[in-house]
Amino acid sequence: MARIDSQVLFLTTSPRTPEKMIPEIKLLIENFQGSLWNSESQTKFMDILREEQFFNGKGEKDPAFSARDRINRAPKALGFVKLYPKIEVTAAGDALITSKHSEEIFLRQFMKFQIPSPYHTPSDKAADFWIKPYLEMLRLVRVMGTLKFDELQIFGMQLTNWNDFDTIVEKIKKFRLDKLNNKGSYRNFKTAVLYNELKQIYSIRIAKGELKTRESNDESLAKFLKTQGSNMRDYADSCFRYLRATGLVNVSHVGKSLSIVPERLQDVDFLLNNIDRNPCFVDDEMSYAAYLGDCNQPILLSDNRDNIVKRLQNEFTYNSEDKQTTKELKDLLIDLTDKRKEETIQKQIKDIKDYKLYDDIQHTFEQIKGGDVYDAPLMLEWNTWRAMTMLDGGKIKANLNFDDFGKPLSTAAGNMSDIVCDYEDYMLSVEVTMATGQRQYDMEGEPVSRHLGKLKKSSNKPSYALFIAPTINEATIAHFYALHHMNVSYYGGKSIIIPLTIASFQKMLEDSYRADYIPTPDHVRKFFDLSMTYAKESESEKEWYTKISEAATCWL
């Protein structure tokens, strides 16, 4: 049982995107089903996990703690696994790891998550919790029409008891009106509103002078408010990502907002009208665990045969037959939706290759650099995939999940390149990050070369890598320069990795767009050949980076 001290809405924040728990649950069940969940099995789990292709992390300092952090949070809290008395997959967990489509499974489980519960008990310090968080946040999106990230952070995260729902709605309406009347900086306006709300939420603690946080010895009010605001942001970010995984909401990355997918409004209304808003089995762990692990609860509109028939007719002009079972019709609906998604993506690819989306791609890069998109890492990966596709000449695959309408949903499995370009004669790994400073090198330095080494081994072709970020840290430059010279067998020999700023990469795209001929894969390969030449000729990493950056401005 976890004790909750939070004064704001509590949501699981690990993993950051829910899809990433799927392979880890599968690994746990394949290796530890029926075992005790203790320090020994937790350490062994991390040992096995680190060897998996999808693993992205370390977990070296305290492997048992890392295992608990991965499994005790979302997988257990959402009813996918039971850890006591022994490790066991639930019906919901089995459905998740065996199904090709996770949206409906995630939806059922998110709608059941509640506080309080036998798994999460509020302490005396906590807020008055009586809520199913994802159900009420979905309701908030539906009622408001569009819900901005800032609104979710400042006000949505205050909804700890569903009976206060109308109060939160009124607060958001007032915020919107005040924002319209604000003549100054929106950033300053938003911060002032956030801090005023925090002062009310934590009024008792502030009055007692209890301002110390775990992260710092600074006991000032300013530091306290900044920390609590950051915590609310983390919870709001988690809520965005988890709701997005249900397939019921659209995320506007530019508007930084959530809205209901128009085609799924009836599904949402069905949930909001039929799911009890009150937590259940609060003091009965056995009944709660059974309820949480039931893969058929709650009932969804998509379980209704008549509704499936309507969707097949309205969205795909398909006329069903009486002999078709509900399951057959549901599977058909999923298959047709997947087909539509693939056709949408292929249409996008055609438009991209014809340079019809050149301006949009360049504009999106500007928005990413300016911090004007919600999920900058996801958008950078998606937009770079579009850019590499526009350069054409090969098979370009992004390590992304797309929604039913071809929009980027989330990054896929870890421990592999963000984008892989197969140019027949050679391979190109493209890695992107929003990380800057020393953190960039710490997070990306080794994985980029490791991913390139794996690509060399799996393709058995000459392979190179492009590393793109807003700015390039000096340690990153030094590392990639050194790898040009070092014959490391673990990385498949010398690693030819070119680091470029987003701005430099944009210039390469511009040259490609303005050229009076169509660039070929040979042009791309010559750029990497040039990098090898510069690395041999240069006296230092700084000289090499300067030369290759200048070459990027006139690569054609």
Write the pLDDT tens digit of every residue in 438-450.
999 998 888 999 9
Tell me the C-alpha to C-alpha distance, in Å, between residue 484 and each of 379, 460, 477, 492, 537: 30, 19, 11, 12, 12
Q: Closest Cα to residue 79, out of 87, 91, 67, 70?
A: 91
Output the pLDDT for position 58.
Answer: 57
pLDDT recorded at residue 413: 64
* 156-169 pLDDT, tens digit each: 999 999 999 999 99
395-398 vs 400-402, strand pairing mode: unpaired
CA 517, CA 112: separation in Å to the nearest integer? 57
Q: Rounded to whole angstroms, how far apart are CA atoms 442 and 531?
A: 23
Return the DSSP state at 157.
Answer: G
CA dist., res. 280 & res. 269, Å (int):
21
Please give the pLDDT value at position 59.
53
Write the burial class of residue 208 (CB in 10 Å: 0-12 exposed, 13-18 middle, 19+ buried).
exposed
For tokens 């807020």, the residue is 127
When pLDDT is averaged across residues 268-292 and rounded to a whole number, the result is 97
User: Distance between CA 240 and CA 232 in Å, rounded?
Assistant: 12
Instruction: Say how far apart CA 484 and CA 480 lie, in whole Å.
Output: 7
Nearest to 4 by CA among 172, 144, 118: 118
Euclidean distance between CA atoms 552 and 506, whole angstroms: 10
> Could you tell me which residue, 21 or 253, shows the higher pLDDT?
21
- CA distance linking residue 241 with residue 244, whole number of Å: 5
pLDDT in the model for residue 411: 80
- The tens digit of pLDDT for each residue in 132-141 reads 999 999 999 9
User: What is the pLDDT at residue 493?
Assistant: 94
Segments in 84-185 forming alpha helices (H): 91-98, 103-112, 133-144, 149-154, 165-181
Average of per-residue pLDDT values in the chain: 93
* pLDDT one-digit tens code per residue, 368-402: 999 999 999 999 999 999 999 998 778 999 999 88
- The arithmetic mean of pLDDT across residues 526-539, rounded, is 97
236-253: per-residue pLDDT in tens? Answer: 999 999 999 999 999 988
* pLDDT for the residue numbered 53: 61
pTM: 0.87
Least confident range from 111-120, 208-217, 268-277: namely 208-217
Q: Is the dihedral of CA 157, 158, 163, 164 positive or negative?
A: negative
